[in-house]
Amino acid sequence: MKKLNAVINTYNRKSHINPEIYGHFSEHLGRCIYKGIYVGEDSPIPNIGGVRKDIIEAFRQIKMPVIRWPGGCFADEYHWMDGIGPKESRKKMVNTNWGGVTEDNSFGTNEFFNFCEAVGCEPYLSVNVGSGTVEEMANWIEYITFDGVSPMAQLRRDNGREKPWKLKYLGIGNENWGCGGNMRPEYYADVYRRFQTFAKNFSGNRLFKVACGPSDSQYNWTEGLLHNINDMHANAISMHYYTLPTGDWQHKGSATEFDDKEYYQTIEHTLAIEDMIEKHGALLSIHTKQMKLIVDEWGCWYDVEPGTNPGFLYQQNTMRDAIVAAINLNIFNQHSDIVCMANIAQAVNVLQALILTEGEKMVKTPTYHVFDMFKAHQGNELVDSFVENETREGVPAISYSASMNEGRDLVITLANCMLDETYEISCDLCGYNAKEIEAQILTNDVHAHNDFTDPEKVSIAPYKATKDGDKIIVSLPPCSVVTVICHE
């Protein structure tokens, strides 16, 4: 066991941790929506308006703050009018991005907004720029948010919803440098400016407009975009970054079968997001006064589970994913001055999913448990923290962040990324007198995962952190995530 010192300085409040940093993403892809979130009103699986009750409950438990929909690449071929009105007359389409399957549009705008209301989260719409029109987008916003007399408000009423919904987050296009139209940044910037002009605030609703930003380290996209749009046009730009164990899109690596070398490579690759956030953040501060960064899509992307449809992106989720989730969430907290939202890809049955389903069965993945353990950070102030870290296998051993809420509860989240070493952290609390300490741990073999025969294999357990004068002492076993909450 190795001992490391740490300091948390509660006098130094650094930035506000927007709850939306703990956000999510749901796309019409594989079994994320259909056979995942949405099973239809006639399903024997208990549901509210077709949405699984157990999923609503699970998302409420982690205080899901926001969910992005309907894509992803799907968003830029989605025509919202096809997904409203009587289900039997909704137009069918081909989901060209994801397996060429038939999309019957039975989950559309009303279903999505009702789902968000049931969960208690903000809806985040990704509108079709690549193959859609300005008029289509403008009508969608009117349908959702207008309280007065208008054709779209009437259509909403005809579809059974009298009052408008609130819509804050509006993403104008998705990956417009790729599946959203293969545009150049200058061209997209002009298209963006036109679309956002017609994104109106109706009936007291205030839109927060998000322009399509870069993929990982595409700094030329961010530069090109920010030369052509300003604070008058957008509130934030988005960024996408996926963690691939091998770094090779042709052979990404298996979700469950990997050796230590591939594990540490995964950790190294996921840590790369920090540098990207800092560099895109620096460009934002050079070019704009207020614009923030949204990490719209993040998480591990592996080869699909053997025998499953390659277009469905279904993968298992192990303790490795839990460590990756903890590292990313700690990084987002530490950069909450720049990052105002982050959405893991994706919520159910796709990529680094929080939930897996099979028929009526549902499994919470290790990643889900990390979101549960980190939820106490939501809405807090980030406080200064430092761990006397060590670098092994090319990566820092400990990932960490700390925050304080209005009632002065101190929340500390830690991950031990090493597979063969226990660390005892002795943490000086500066300006804080911890009278009570509660802790939780998630730990197991790095390959351990939850499946439909053993759904609780990886689960949160109560843990003990002790007090020694002004210090708290926490021991971190190999491959573990720990949350400590102190009360004065």
Q: Which residues are catalytic?
A: 175, 297
User: Binding ligand AHR by CB under 6 A: which of 20, 122, 142, 175?
Assistant: 175
| φ, ψ dihedrals at 340, nearest 5° | -105, -10
Report if residue 72 touches ligand AHR, rule: CB under 6 A.
yes
User: Binding ligand AHR by CB under 6 A: which of 30, 71, 132, 164?
Assistant: 71
Report if residue 303 touches ligand AHR, rule: CB under 6 A.
no
Bridge partners (DSSP) listed for residue 391: 396
Say if CB 30 and CB 309 are below 8 A apart: yes
- For residues 145 and 223, give the distance between their C-alpha atoms in angstroms, rounded to a whole number: 33
- For residues 442 and 450, give the distance between their C-alpha atoms in angstroms, rounded to a whole number: 13
CA distances from 203 to 133, 310, 402, 462 (A): 23, 44, 39, 47
Question: Which residue's CB is nearer to ligand AHR, number 218 or number 346?
Answer: 346
Shortest separation between residue 439's beta carbon and ligand AHR, angstroms: 34
Report if residue 224 touches ligand AHR, rule: CB under 6 A.
no
- Which residues have CB under 8 Å from 259's CB, separation 6+? none
Report if residue 153 touches ligand AHR, rule: CB under 6 A.
no
CA dihedral 355, 82, 342, 100 (to 10 degrees): 60
Shortest separation between residue 387's beta carbon and ligand AHR, angstroms: 32
Question: Which residue's CB is nearer to ligand AHR, number 90 or number 240?
Answer: 240
Report if residue 73 touches ligand AHR, rule: CB under 6 A.
yes
Q: What tokens appear for 19 in the block?
A: 């709850």
**Using H for helix, E for strand and C for coil, what is the string for 73-123?**
HHHHHCCHHHHCCCHHHCCCEEECCCCCEEECCCCCHHHHHHHHHHHCCEE
- For residues 103 and 34, give the distance between their C-alpha atoms in angstroms, rounded to a whole number: 9
Question: Which residue's CB is nearer to ligand AHR, number 80 or number 146?
Answer: 80
Report if residue 27 touches ligand AHR, rule: CB under 6 A.
yes
| Region near ligand AHR per CB under 6 A, out of 4-12, 69-77, 155-163, 322-330 | 69-77
| Region near ligand AHR per CB under 6 A, out of 70-78, 273-281, 326-334, 437-445 | 70-78
Shortest separation between residue 29's beta carbon and ligand AHR, angstroms: 6
Report if residue 32 touches ligand AHR, rule: CB under 6 A.
no
Shortest separation between residue 180's beta carbon and ligand AHR, angstroms: 8
CA 416 to chain CA centroid, Å, is: 22
Question: Which residue's CB is nearer to ligand AHR, number 348 or number 351?
Answer: 351
Burial class, 100, CB count within 10 angstroms (exposed 0-12 / middle 13-18 / buried 19+): exposed
Q: By rule CB under 6 A, what string of x and - marks binding of each residue 431-460 to ligand AHR?
A: ------------------------------
Radius of gyration of the CA atoms of the chain, in A: 22
Shortest separation between residue 351's beta carbon and ligand AHR, angstroms: 6
Task: Give residue 446's region: left, alpha or beta (phi > 0; psi -120 to 50).
Answer: alpha
| Region near ligand AHR per CB under 6 A, out of 65-73, 105-113, 369-377, 439-447 | 65-73
User: Binding ligand AHR by CB under 6 A: which of 51, 207, 277, 345?
Assistant: 345
Binding site for ligand AHR (CB under 6 A): 27, 71-73, 174-175, 240, 297, 345-346, 351
